[in-house]
C-alpha cells in the first residue's frame, strides 16, 4: 500500500491511474496534514467490494454462500468442467 499527500495525489493523478491499470490490486492512501482523508482503489477492487457488500447485505444469498462453502469443505464440490457438462454448456 502506498501513501501520498493530497498535493502529490493531485500532481500525480494520471500516473497513479496508469499504475492502477497495470496493478489493479494497488491501493493508495491519501493523507492531509498526516491524517488519512481518502483511499484510491482500482475500479476492479471497487467493483469487487460493492459485489461483496451486496452479497453480505442479502441474507438469503449469504446463507447460500455459507452452505456452498461448507459443502466444498466436506468434499461435495464438483469441478468447473463437470458443472459445465451437467449444465450442457460448451466445453
| pLDDT tens string 66-84 | 999 999 999 998 899 999 9
| 32: phi then psi, degrees, rounded to nearest 5 | -135, 120
pLDDT at 91: 85
| pLDDT tens string 16-49 | 999 999 999 999 999 999 999 999 999 999 999 9
- Predicted TM-score (pTM) above 0.75: no
Output the CA torsion sign for 39, 41, 46, 52. Answer: negative
Residue 20: strand, helix, or coil: helix
- Residue-wise burial string across 30-52, b where 16 or more C-beta atoms lie within 10 A, e elsewhere: beeeeeeeeebbbeebeeeeeee
Q: Where in the chain is the domain with CATH 3.40.1620?
A: 2-42
Helix (H) or strand (E) holding 30: strand 27-32
Confidence of residue 13 (pLDDT cuts 50, 70, 90): very high
Topology of domain 2-42, CATH: YefM-like fold (3.40.1620)
Amino acid at each position: 500500500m502506498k501513501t501520498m499527500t493530497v498535493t502529490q495525489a493531485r500532481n500525480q493523478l494520471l500516473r497513479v491511474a496508469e499504475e492502477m491499470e497495470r496493478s489493479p490490486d494497488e491501493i493508495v492512501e491519501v493523507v492531509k496534514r498526516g491524517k488519512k482523508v481518502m483511499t484510491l482503489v482500482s475500479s476492479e477492487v471497487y467493483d469487487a467490494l460493492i459485489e461483496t457488500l451486496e452479497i453480505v447485505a442479502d441474507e438469503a444469498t449469504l446463507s447460500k454462500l455459507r452452505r456452498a462453502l461448507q459443502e466444498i469443505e466436506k468434499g461435495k464440490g464438483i469441478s468447473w468442467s463437470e458443472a459445465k457438462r451437467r449444465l450442457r454448456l460448451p466445453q
